[in-house]
Amino acid sequence: MAQITKDTIIGDILDIAPDTAPIFLSIGMHCLGCPSSRGETVEQACMVHGVDVDALLERLNASMA
């Protein structure tokens, strides 16, 4: 995966880079195993959880580097 974007599906990120799970958990996304959250985009999840999408993308992409 070259870069995670706002439109990347959370389930795809977790499948390719399961080590990103703690990043999601640290910002309150504790429902990573439920089917609906795995189908959400990063942007959708951030809206639901009140998280700055750009800050999360920076952390996720840094962890993938």
pLDDT in tens, 30-40: 877 788 778 89
Q: Containing H/E element for 58?
A: helix 53-64
Residue 2 in domain = no
Residue 5 in domain = no
Residue 28 in domain = yes
Q: Can you give the pTM of this predicted structure?
A: 0.87
- State how many domains the chain has: 1
Residue 4 in domain = no
Residue 30 in domain = yes
Domain membership of residue 39 as a residue range: 10-64
Residue 3 in domain = no
- Which residues does residue 9 pair with via DSSP β-bridges, in sequence order? 41
Whole-angstrom Cα distance, residue 55 to residue 60? 9
pLDDT in tens, 9-21: 999 999 999 999 9
